[in-house]
Structure 1
Amino acid sequence: MHSLPKTLADDVAKNLVMVARLIDEDPERAYAYSKVALRLASRVAAVREAGGFAAYANQKYSEALAEFRAARRMTGSVELWPVMADCERGLGRPEKALDMAGAPEVNKLDKAGQVEMRLVAAGARRDMGQLDAAIVTLQSPELASNSVQPWTARLRYAYADALLAAGREGEAREWFAKAVEADRDGSTDASDRLAELDGVDFVDALDDSETEGEGESDSEPRSEAEGVVVEKAEDEADRDAD
């Protein structure tokens, strides 16, 4: 954004920061901020990328794919290749996602990107009803490694979930347990899935107060939103805002 006038750059940066802060907890508001940034600076790659992630978080896959493609044209980077492939899945084109998983661009990805591409490819296999192929796709040195990396919990979780879908409950339990060990920041619900397999029922603490006549709970179960990160956009925005 260094090519923008300072006042405009500051305005764009503020909107990008809000996208990054809200995208997990309030994706609709994040999307609104991304649209403002796009109106102000659509020729900036970081803005197009943030717009893509905001659209992706709201399941606007066609729009997200267009923004990611634009960002890629501007930068020449393959970093967005996995999420672009996942957009193809979201649009009901798992075959296209698999084609992308076998493209030369994958070899240019860093390790995290390659693992992400493997997760997308496995998801595409499941979309096509190829459960055994999905399981095989996830089998990799990264899955077998005892080293815990940022992607480890999600990779183990995806493998456990595929095993469970295939009726291999014992193996699934083992891998959900391994996912729990690696999930240090609660990015998955592996612990809940493991508890379900073990037959553990969770009771809301408010239930006890209801039986004692201390009031009626009006709380509802909360669902865990899919985490989408736009750290690069936030970092650049913070630098420009300083």
Structure 2
Amino acid sequence: MPIPEDVSGEEIDKDVRQELQSLPKTLAEDVARNLVMVARLIDEDPEQAYGYSRVALRLASRVAAVREAAGFAAYATQQYSEALAEFRAARRMSGGVELWPVMADCERGMGRPERALAMAGETEVQKLDKAGQVEMRLVAAGARRDMGQVDAAIVTLQSPELASNAVQPWTARLRYAYADALLAADRESEAREWFARAVEADKDGSTDASDRLAELDGVEFVDALVDEADADADPSADAGGGTDTDTERKDAGSDDDAGDAGGSGVRHPVGDASEATSHGSPGADRDGDQGADQDGGKV
């Protein structure tokens, strides 16, 4: 697969670069460049990212970072069985536990929420850092919802991290998942409060909390481009308002609007981590849970 000339391979994480030192220099450079492409494309074009991950895997299947990147690329394309196999291989090679939450979310993606829930109770969870433990909590809550246990999901998400006013990298997704679970339990006023709190923490727009909040408030968005097209098509329409109502335009809709409506819910594994979730990259819209965070590995 073609790689842009501006990609040197030096962009990769220093720990990954160290792992690649076990390879011949030219081979290490080729692998590094493919890993950079995985990281670049995994969000905007996961299929392409997956292709580059397969190239890296063919070149260096015994490098843990390569197996991890291949796992995230498979996860992003909803190939959860393959992703789980790659994550397990990476974990065997590295001996670390940081992939435990996303491995559990793969179980969710494969329709086995009970296994994900069992993993949430294993001793590996205690070895995770704070971010990893929050991811595991998100996955466990998502598994509860997969099993129809909405109230249990709400309880699972209640934690010191949720109650804290401090904003951490996981705060927006945790608040979003809690709000979505409350809404699923028909606790709309509480859900609105937590969607608002998610918006406050979501500085980079990683969730669609603002859209969900507007929806609860009854706000309707009208595409300005559609309005202009309507005006051009009917120049005789009264400028004062003889055109279709906003509601009628919304009902008419467009394919583009339909595609945007889902947002990223984050949309996510683990999951949601989803809501990672029908099963999109657990990480996204699986019942609104935010799923495991997906970053393409340490690239």
Shorter-chain TM range is: over 0.9
* Structure with more helix by fraction: 1
> What one-letter code is carried by the residue in structure 2 that aligns with 1:193?
R
How big is each residue's C-alpha offset from its partner over 1:101-136, in whole Å with a ceiling of 9 and x where there is no partner?
000000000000000000000000001111100000
1:229 aligns with 2:298: no
> What one-letter code is carried by the residue in structure 2 that aligns with 1:57?
A
1:159 to 178, 190, 193: 178
* Alpha-carbon distance in 2 for matches of 1:112, 1:161: 20
1:220 aligns with 2:256: yes
The percentage of aligned residue pairs carrying the same residue is 79
Which 5+ residue runs of structure 1 have no aligned equivalent?
235-242
Aligned-residue CA RMSD (Å): 1.5
1:113 aligns with 2:132: yes
* Alpha-carbon distance in 2 for matches of 1:230, 1:6: 23
How big is each residue's C-alpha offset from its partner over 1:204-238, in whole Å with a ceiling of 9 and x where there is no partner?
111221132079x9871334363620251x1xxxx
1:204 aligns with 2:223: yes
Query: Higher RCO, 1 or 2 (CA under 8 Å, sep at least 6)?
Result: 1
* Alpha-carbon distance in 2 for matches of 1:71, 1:2: 17
* Alpha-carbon distance in 2 for matches of 1:49, 1:214: 53
Tell me the CA shift for residue 5 of structure 1: 0.5
Residue 192 of structure 2 is matched in structure 1 by: 173
* Alpha-carbon distance in 2 for matches of 1:218, 1:161: 26
Residue 60 of structure 1 is matched in structure 2 by: 79
Residues 1-242 of structure 1: pairs in structure 2 closer than 5 A: 1-213=20-232, 220-221=256-257, 222=260, 223-224=263-264, 226=268, 228-230=294-296, 232=298, 234=299
Q: Does the CA contact (< 8 Å) of 2:68 and 2:297 recur in 1?
A: no
Q: Does the CA contact (< 8 Å) of 2:69 and 2:297 recur in 1?
A: no
Q: Does the CA contact (< 8 Å) of 2:65 and 2:297 recur in 1?
A: no
How big is each residue's C-alpha offset from its partner over 1:117-166, in whole Å with a ceiling of 9 and x where there is no partner?
00000000001111100000000000000000000000000000000000
How big is each residue's C-alpha offset from its partner over 1:34-61, in whole Å with a ceiling of 9 and x where there is no partner?
0000000000000000000000000100
* Alpha-carbon distance in 2 for matches of 1:231, 1:83: 11
Structure having the higher Rg: 2
Q: What is the number of equivalent residue pairs in this alignment?
A: 232
* Alpha-carbon distance in 2 for matches of 1:66, 1:212: 55
Q: Does the CA contact (< 8 Å) of 2:179 and 2:190 recur in 1?
A: yes
Could you say what secondary structure the match of 1:43 adopts? coil
Q: Does the CA contact (< 8 Å) of 2:72 and 2:297 recur in 1?
A: no
Q: Does the CA contact (< 8 Å) of 2:161 and 2:171 recur in 1?
A: yes
Q: Does the CA contact (< 8 Å) of 2:180 and 2:191 recur in 1?
A: yes
> What one-letter code is carried by the residue in structure 1 that aligns with 2:199?
V
> What one-letter code is carried by the residue in structure 2 that aligns with 1:12?
V
